[in-house]
């Protein structure tokens, strides 16, 4: 038997916690026997004094054990490996909607438990809920049936799925204890490993729109996530990717879904398409355990074929239909759910000559999206699925005089339109059109 305050004191005094101490604390917190204030105190001690790799691995294990773990042995018996992709999040980060069908088309199973928007970054569950009828928060039985039937399903964290993380994350959010590599590692990886995965690809973002802005911090997190996954027996690799500008040309729920549908039908934003293909190819190599010399190139070609043949699009429609989506809405190129009741207002950078986009304050655009109604100010807020930013110029692109850098899709009656347009315009730094601007690579490095 342990005393919670002794465990907190141990971490406060920079000692290594034993496995039993960690298990006791997490279990008692998840079941309500340790109050929030003691958990918050321990979280703060961890933020300040860190955790060893072994402590982190054990924290992760204790969090997984706090709830139900998925079990895909039935699929493994049929020779189908389970894989997933997780992103630390950003603005316009929508690759999950493309990657899941690509991987299912490649013969893999994808039990994707996604999240809602966090801070200035968007979440897959909110995006999917923009599609009329889409049930993005199934119960565990429903999720299991969908996955077994179609090989892929989108879900969200429930009260039985890593409850220790659900409680702890909410507490960290309001006690300034989010920024800790061990706590983030245990939080992200507990949810992914509770999915019973064979392989996982992580997209760890850095830059002005990322949760960790410096590439050094993102690298440290990526190493910690990969290490924790491997210690738990999962094949994991992480890409460090650039979030110095929004991904794609659209940000906001319905408009991001449309961008993904375009990609699945052979068009769409090139950066989103390329990142989706690269991440899916890595996940496929890890999932199929392809150790041949040019495994990645072969997987990348297969992914491109799944797009060009229309198979990935078909898979997305089948999965969306299974999850209750009104498929007729997805078949029409322009329908009610996308933009009814909204207006697209141009965002201009006043100039008499052509200009080039030098930089985009991506975090500012993320915060602007919250202001527009696409994100939440409080956890319980509803989001507006239709508002967003569309036709965004990318860093390095030329903008002719009086050509918009993007359009704000706002509710027709939004009286703040002028102010919102000004804020959007201020997020774009422009240079003379003759000046060349180097665009950064999408994937800076792989951590394997």
Beta carbon nearer to ligand URA, 165 or 271: 165
CB of 220 to ligand URA, least distance (A): 14
Residue 86 annotated in active site: yes
User: Of 23, 87, 96, 187, which is the active-site residue?
Assistant: 187
Nearest residue to ligand URA, using CB? 187
Which residues lie below 8 Å from residue 442, measured CB to CB, with a gap of 6+?
A: 241, 242, 271, 274, 275, 278
Task: Give CA–CA dist 299/358, Å, rounded.
Answer: 34
The length of the chain is 448
Task: Give CA–CA dist 244/390, Å, rounded.
Answer: 17
Helix axes 163-173, 181-193, angle to 10 degrees: 150
Beta carbon nearer to ligand URA, 81 or 89: 89
**Residues linked to residue 410 through DSSP beta bridges, in sequence order:** 343
Sign of torsion, CA 172 173 176 179?
A: positive
Residue 190 annotated in active site: no
Opening angle at CA 248, ends 340 and 210, nearest 5: 110
CB of 114 to ligand URA, least distance (A): 10
Beta carbon nearer to ligand URA, 151 or 209: 209
CB of 184 to ligand URA, least distance (A): 4
Binding residues vs ligand URA (CB under 6 A): 169, 178, 183-184, 187-188
Beta carbon nearer to ligand URA, 124 or 187: 187
User: Of 58, 172, 282, 306, which is the active-site residue?
Assistant: 172
Task: Give CA–CA dist 434/242, Å, rounded.
Answer: 25
CB of 45 to ligand URA, least distance (A): 16
User: Of 11, 58, 61, 86, which is the active-site residue?
Assistant: 86
Beta carbon nearer to ligand URA, 169 or 316: 169
Task: Give CA–CA dist 165/172, Å, rounded.
Answer: 10
Residue 172 annotated in active site: yes
Task: Give CA–CA dist 45/49, Å, rounded.
Answer: 6
User: Of 120, 144, 166, 191, which is the active-site residue?
Assistant: 191
CB of 182 to ligand URA, least distance (A): 10
Residue 187 annotated in active site: yes
Residue 419 annotated in active site: no
User: Of 84, 106, 126, 165, which is the active-site residue?
Assistant: 165
Q: Catalytic positions, please?
A: 86, 165, 172, 187, 191
């Amino acid at each position: 038997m342990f005393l919670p305050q002794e465990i907190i004191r141990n971490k406060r005094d920079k000692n290594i916690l034993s496995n039993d101490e960690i298990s006791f604390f997490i279990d008692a917190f998840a079941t309500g026997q340790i109050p929030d204030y003691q958990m918050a105190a321990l979280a703060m001690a961890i933020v300040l004094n860190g955790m060893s790799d072994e402590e982190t691995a054990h924290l992760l294990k204790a969090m997984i054990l706090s709830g139900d773990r998925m079990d895909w042995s039935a699929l493994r018996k049929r020779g189908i490996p389970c894989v997933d992709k997780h992103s630390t999040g950003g603005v316009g980060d929508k690759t999950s909607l493309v990657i899941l069908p690509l991987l299912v088309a490649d013969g893999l199973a994808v039990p994707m438990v996604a999240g809602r928007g966090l801070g200035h970054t968007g979440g897959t569950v909110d995006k999917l809920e923009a599609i009329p009828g889409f049930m993005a928060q199934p119960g565990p039985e429903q999720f299991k049936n969908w996955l077994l039937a179609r090989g892929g399903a989108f879900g969200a964290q429930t009260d039985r799925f890593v409850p220790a993380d659900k409680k702890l994350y909410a507490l960290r959010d309001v006690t300034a204890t989010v920024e800790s590599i061990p706590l983030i590692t245990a939080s992200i990886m507990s949810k992914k490993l509770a999915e019973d995965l064979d392989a996982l690809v992580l997209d760890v973002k850095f830059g002005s729109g990322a949760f960790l802005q410096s590439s050094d911090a993102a690298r440290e997190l990526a190493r910690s996530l990969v290490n924790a996954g491997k210690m738990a027996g999962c094949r994991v690799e992480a890409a460090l990717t650039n979030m110095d500008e929004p991904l794609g040309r659209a940000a906001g729920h319905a408009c991001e879904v449309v961008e993904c549908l375009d990609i699945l039908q052979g068009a769409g934003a090139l950066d989103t398409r390329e990142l989706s293909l690269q991440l899916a190819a890595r996940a496929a190599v890890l999932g199929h355990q392809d150790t041949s010399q040019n495994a990645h190139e072969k997987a990348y070609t297969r992914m491109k074929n799944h797009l060009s043949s229309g198979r990935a699009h078909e898979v997305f429609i089948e999965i969306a239909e299974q999850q209750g989506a009104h498929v007729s809405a997805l078949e029409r190129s322009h329908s009610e759910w996308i933009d009814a009741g909204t207006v697209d207002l141009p965002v201009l950078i006043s100039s008499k000559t052509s200009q080039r986009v030098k930089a985009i304050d991506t975090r500012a655009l993320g915060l602007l999206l919250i202001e527009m109604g696409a994100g939440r100010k409080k956890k319980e807020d509803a989001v507006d699925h239709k508002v967003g930013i569309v036709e965004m110029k990318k860093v390095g692109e030329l903008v002719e005089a009086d050509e918009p850098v993007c359009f704000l899709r706002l509710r027709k009656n939004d009286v703040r339109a002028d102010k919102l347009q000004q804020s959007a315009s201020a997020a774009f730094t422009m240079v003379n059109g003759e000046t060349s601007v180097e665009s950064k690579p999408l994937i800076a490095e792989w951590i394997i």
